[in-house]
Amino acid sequence: MTPPARSRRAENTGFACVHCGSAVPANTDGHYRNHCPVCLWSLHVDDLPGDRASECRAPMEPIGLVEKSGKGWQVVHRCTACGHRQPNRLVREGDAPDDLDVVLSLPWL
C-alpha cells in the first residue's frame, strides 16, 4: 500500500540550522527551503530533490557553486557522513534570502 502523499506546504516549514543554530523560516517563493540562509549548511534529507526519503540525516556542508540552465546559480552541498552531493537552488527573495557574501565566498565547481 502506498503511503499518502505529503503536501508541499507541510514539507516547506521553518527549522533550526544544524550548523549555526539560526532560526530559518519557510521559503515563500514556492520552492523547498533546504538550507540555512546565514551559513548555507543543509541536512541530508533527500535521496532525490524534494523526496525527503533519505535516512542519513547528517549535516551537509556547502562546498561550491554551479550554474544550471533554467535554475541559475546553485549551492552544492556534500554530506559530512556519506559524501552524497546535491546542488540546491539559491534563495534570492522572500523573508530570508541567502547571504550573498557567504554565497560569493564559495568556489565555482
Tens-place pLDDT, residues 56-106: 999 999 999 999 988 899 999 999 999 999 999 898 888 889 999 999 999
From the list 61, 73, 66, 71, the residue with the least C-alpha distance to 100 is: 73
More confident residue, 22 or 12: 22
What does 11-45 look like in DSSP terms, one character per residue? HS--EE-TTT--EEPPPSSSS---B-TTT--EE--
From the list 87, 78, 33, 38, the residue with the least C-alpha distance to 58 is: 78
Domains of the chain by residue range: 8-104
pLDDT of 2 above 50? no
pLDDT of 8 above 50? no
pLDDT of 3 above 50? no
pLDDT in the model for residue 11? 62
- In angstroms, the CA 65 to CA 75 distance is 5
Mean pLDDT of 39-57: 89
